[in-house]
Amino acid sequence: MKVFMEPMRHSQATLVDLLDRVLDKGLVINADLIISLAGVPLIGVNLRAALAGMETMLKYGVMADWDERTRLWEREHRKENVPPICPVVIRE
């Protein structure tokens, strides 16, 4: 069997990755009944500032425009082509 890179999981090393996902992402509920965090000090904000590596700030200011550019490129690219490689199979 071929040796390939195995993903890391469940370690101290992946805590930032976990926080990125659990605090910023996930299924969004658009309902009046959801408890809004607007106006409430958002959980994890302090934590976020305290953790090195959580800052979206780039190490080199010079790269900031570049980062924006690549993200723009990707959005354009996504629009133009890239059909899903694996067809999505919806089980009935």
Partner 1 sequence: MQFSEETKVMAGTQVAIEEGSYLYCIADAGEKVSLGKIGLEGNKVYTIPCQDVCAVVHHCLAQPYRSEDREVVKAWVRTHQQVVEAAWERWGTVLPMGFDTIIRGEAQKSAEQNVKDWLEQEYERLKSKIGELRGKAEYGVQVFWNPKLVAQNLTHTSPEIRNLEEEIKTKPKGLAYMYRQRLESLVKHEMESKADECFKDFYTRIRKYADDVRVEKTKKAEPGLQMIMNLSCLVHKDRYAELGEELDRINSLEGFSVRFTGPWPPYSFVGSG
Residue 38 sits in the site that holds partner 1 (CB under 8 A): no
State the distance between the two ends of the chain, measured CA to CA, in whole angstroms.
35
Using the rule CB under 8 A, which residue among 39, 79, 80, 82 binds partner 1? 82
Between the alpha carbon of residue 70 and those of residues 11, 20, 25, 27, 45, the distances in Å are 30, 20, 21, 26, 27
Residues that bind partner 1 (CB under 8 A): 2-9, 14-31, 33-35, 37, 40-41, 43-44, 46-47, 50-60, 62-63, 65-67, 69-71, 73-75, 77, 82, 84-86, 88-91
